[in-house]
Amino acid sequence: MSENPLAPQHLRFPTDPSALTARIWPASATRTDDGELVVGGVTASDLVAEFGTPLYVVDERDVQSRAVRVRNAFTEAFERIGTRAHVYYAGKAFLTTQVAAWMVAADLRVDVCTGGELAVALAGGVDPALLGFHGNDKSDAEIARAVEVGVGTIVLDSHEEVQRVARAAADAGVVQRVRIRINSGVHASTHEYLATAREDQKFGIPLTEAVTAAEAVRAEPSLAFVGLHSHIGSQIFDESGFREAARRLMDVHATLVATGPVPELNLGGGWGIDYTESDSAFEPEDVADALATIVAEACAERDIPVPEIAVEPGRYIVGPAGITLYRVGTIKPVTLADDDHAPATRTYVSVDGGMSDNARPALYGADYTARLARTSDAPAVLTRVVGKHCESGDIVVNDEYLPGDVHRGDLLAVAATGAYCWSLASNYNHVGRPPVVAVADGEPRILVRGESIDDLLARDTGVVPGA
């Protein structure tokens, strides 16, 4: 069997369509002697028997170890240049009360961007002083709540927020620590929807207005200026964008140091993870070392103190630790031909979920890796894993080689779904959001229960009694 001409160039024909590439799958992912997928010591069939499908599965130990690895990488790199690093977990990637508790146990801080995420973090036991609060359109109620509970740092995303946060802090009789999010103008190499520092953009204050914004903050007695913040985007593999953003921020940082204290600098997050064989992710140690070198050199050139550094990884910590399990339904081979090419077949493999539990492929063409939960000796065929929703764009995995004997009733696992899948889940077509289960040491436990039909009807005020 050879490569299918319909396959994209980046998708290599597999020597083993059942193989689990370590850098893509959770650290504990393996197969039994019979070939069944196991995560956290629990087989896929046992998980599905207890919790059904679709099902988000999170390798708890992998999440915790990745959090510790990032913390250690940045701690060690910045200690070498004489300063401290603070790692904030970006809660938007995936946040539950128990995940928040894992981050606390790993000695990470937590980054939130809505009142809902703030509530979850607090309910998970996070010290408010270790929280950062983001958002380009924070409501007055969200700002007041953040100030009231003692959020460690509020990130100002616009000029008008200076006065709004200052008023809330004055009303509460406190001095609120704030950062200023700067739009550095760095064009990160990623999807347009994931690039967050381009000029025509909703996030941040332009680099040219940073000094004016900082002066406005310093003029408010109820605010304490902590420093600048930058985030250039997500799922980035080219380190040049991070380097350039850091250099641009250091220029402004140096200007501000000349007129007052600027104790910290937040360099954001956004480095990518491996979703497919063609991806090539950074190691956190490499990112930490590169940023530490840039900061040290910039401070030496400008003869200024090295500030404390903050970073905000999310995807790296939870993304590879999660998978989603589906039940295979309809199998539909589709043969395509034109005048220039011989006929070729793509097999559509439908599953019992889709864009309601993973919006990323429909949202910005995200790629994933899929495997059957069993092994097979059947020759691999080009497949497109699709969902059950009423959209042609309801695609789970756009291109994948799966064993040719894939059939109705098979269990299928999609890798690296720990970040931005549950977070973006919806009830499209009135499909309930799946449960999230953590696995560790052979034991599963619910992080978030799944939604039932009763849950979907609970908020509908027109339900006919007895129907």
Q: H-type helices in 27-129, by residue range?
A: 44-51, 60-79, 97-105, 115-123
Instruction: State CA 26 to chain mean position distance.
Output: 15
Single-letter amino acid code for the residue at 255: T
Query: Of residues 113, 299, 390, 421, which has the active-site annotation?
Result: 390
Specify which residues 168 forms β-bridges with.
Answer: none
Cα distance between residue 227 and residue 413, in whole Å: 43
Q: Which residue has the tokens 């995936």?
A: 94
Strands 55-59 and 42-43: what pairing? unpaired
What one-character-per-residue DSSP string does 333-373 give? EEEEEETTEEEEEEEEEEES--TTT--HHHHH-----EEES
Q: How far apart, in Å, are the Cα atoms of 414 and each of 248, 368, 372, 441?
A: 39, 7, 9, 21
Q: Are 261 and 214 in contact (CB under 8 A)?
A: no
Cα distance between residue 90 and residue 315, in whole Å: 8
The C-alpha angle 266, 153, 78, rounded to 5 degrees, equals 35
Single-letter amino acid code for the residue at 419: A
Q: Which residue has the tokens 């220029």?
A: 251
> Would you state the structure tokens that stand for residue 414, as one six-digit string?
């999609």
Cα distance between residue 231 and residue 242, in whole Å: 9
Q: Are 304 and 254 in contact (CB under 8 A)?
A: yes
> Would you state the structure tokens that stand for residue 30, as one six-digit string?
């393996």
421 in active site: no
Q: Are 156 and 178 in contact (CB under 8 A)?
A: yes
> Would you state the structure tokens that stand for residue 369, as one six-digit string?
């890796």
Cα distance between residue 74 and residue 286, in whole Å: 10
> Would you state the structure tokens that stand for residue 450, as one six-digit string?
């799944």
Q: Which residues are catalytic?
A: 390
